[in-house]
Amino acid sequence: MTTDRDLIIIGAGGAGLSAAQYGARGNLRTLVLDEMASGGQALLIEGLENYPGFPEPISGFDFTQKMENQARRFGAEFANASVLSIKARDHVFTVETDQGPLTSLAVILATGAVHRSLGVTGEAELAGHGVSYCATCDGPFFKARRMLVVGGGDAACDEAMYLAHLASGVLMIHRKEKFRAQKSLASRVLANTKIEVRFNTELIRIEGSPTVSRVQLFNNATNRECAEDVAAVFIFIGSDPKSSLAVPLGVKRDDVGYIETNQRMETGVPGFYAVGDVRASPFRQLVVAAAEGSIAAHAAGQYIDELKGEEYN
């Protein structure tokens, strides 16, 4: 069967770039599509210091540029295009883009997720300079300093517990009168002496230059404002996976919208894979995304070999 490419990867973040390298290195005609430059969420990382093999911090931009260059060296192609829809018929995928349709034998969806933001003054301006959406990524930069955690769900409580091991103290706020996290997890947070919890409290402004130094809080039960000195603000109010392209294919998603796969990154649609932050996963890190990308590309190669009758036993 004749297609434009063997493998089309949608999304050029860490997962997509890793898939591109492994796909091209496996001699698959590989094309990566993304609306913007390569990097994804990694572009927000000022100093990546927890990726194995990189003992010295490296910016997310520089790191993902290395990934792209490596994938290109193996023969992967890249194109800037918006993907409008994906259709599957007779073992061929048609990827409709704003540049026209493209066909392939396999598709890897690596579109990621978008962190929900509060939209308060200072949040966007200080993102990457004390405002973060990932405790594991950025918490170590603020060791022995006071940090603020915003949120009341499982993720917020998990991250607050992690940060409590690093910080001089954690101030955790939630706009409701009680946590919505699992009871056992919420209880551990409330029992942790390094975490001060304030309910009915909202973040209304983040201040500092060039990095976070203070926040303005509002108690919606007393209608009072107060200022607190903190070195970092960690916001955990959820993420929205960019999984809408998979919906028409009938791919299974969880309650939030993350795509469910098996350990080979396969969805219920043969030849269609999901990796990185768009996939249902207990731990979202760049190193995990890269691993998922490599697994998906390897699985896609085997699937394509089967389609072409080239499987080796």
Q: CB neighbours (10 Å) of residue 126?
A: 21
- Annotated catalytic, 226? no
Query: In degrees rounded to 5, what are phi and psi of residue 264?
Result: -95, 10
Catalytic, 138? Answer: yes
Catalytic residue among 6, 34, 138, 277: 138
Active-site residue among 137, 157, 158, 277? Answer: 137
Single out the catalytic residue among 6, 34, 134, 277: 134
Instruction: Convert 278-289 into a string of H (helix), E (strand) and C (coil).
Output: HECCCCCCHHHH
Side-chain-side CA neighbours of residue 193 (13 Å): 0
Mapping DSSP onto H, E and C, the string for the chain reads CCCCCCEEEECCCHHHHHHHHHHHHCCCCEEEEECCCCCHHHHHCCCECCCCCCCCCECHHHHHHHHHHHHHHCCCEEEECCEEEEEEECCEEEEEECCEEEEECEEEECCCEEECCCCCECCCCCECCCEECCHHHHHHHHCCCEEEEECCCHHHHHHHHHHHCCCCEEEEECCCCCCCCCHHHHHHHHHCCCEEEECCEEEEEEECCCCCCEEEEEECCCCEEEEEECCEEEECCCEEECCHHHHHHCCCECCCCCECCCCCCECCCCCEEECHHHECCCCCCHHHHHHHHHHHHHHHHHHHHHHHCCCCC
The residues annotated as belonging to the active site are: 134, 137-138
